[in-house]
Amino acid sequence: MPEKPSGPASECSWWLPKQHKSAGAARRLLRTFLAGHPGSERFAGSGELVLGELVANAVLHAKTPPGRLVLIRFDLQPDSLRIEVHDADASRPSLPHSTAEFEETGRGLLLVSLLASDWGCCPREGGIGKAMWALIEGGGAK
């Protein structure tokens, strides 16, 4: 079994409040995390966009009791970055059926599907809610 690289941890997670400012905070945390890993800047652009959309969805759309937090998790491997956003709402989102130009919202998952090499949703292990995840590979975008 391969050993974890020495130096900065390749995995990390943070709890964020369920509020609008958390998407920006999550992007800053990702930038800081990637800055500690030489060569990982290739994941920054797509990773920040995908993370921002997933956190915004958790903040805006997850139906949770007051005080619940959102968990973000990063797992950096040599050729990929896995991003997870956990919330306490078990309902699964889906891609919008309409992309009419006059709609101001509803494009977040479409962006995720275009920027990530793979993405999905699964129940949270050992807890309530779901985990949205996205995999950014190689140069970042498909």
DSSP letter string over 29-86?
A: HHHHHHHTSTTGGGGHHHHHHHHHHHHHHHHHH----TT-EEEEEEEEETTEEEEEEE
**142: pLDDT strictly greater than 80:** no
Please give the domain boundaries of the chain with CATH numbers for all domains.
11-96+104-137 (3.30.565.10)
Residue that is written with structure tokens 């975008």 in the block = 141
Least confident segment among 46-55, 69-78, 89-98:
89-98
Total-model pTM: 0.84
**20: pLDDT strictly greater than 50:** yes
pLDDT bin (cut points 50, 70, 90) of residue 96 is low
- Residue 5: the pLDDT is 42
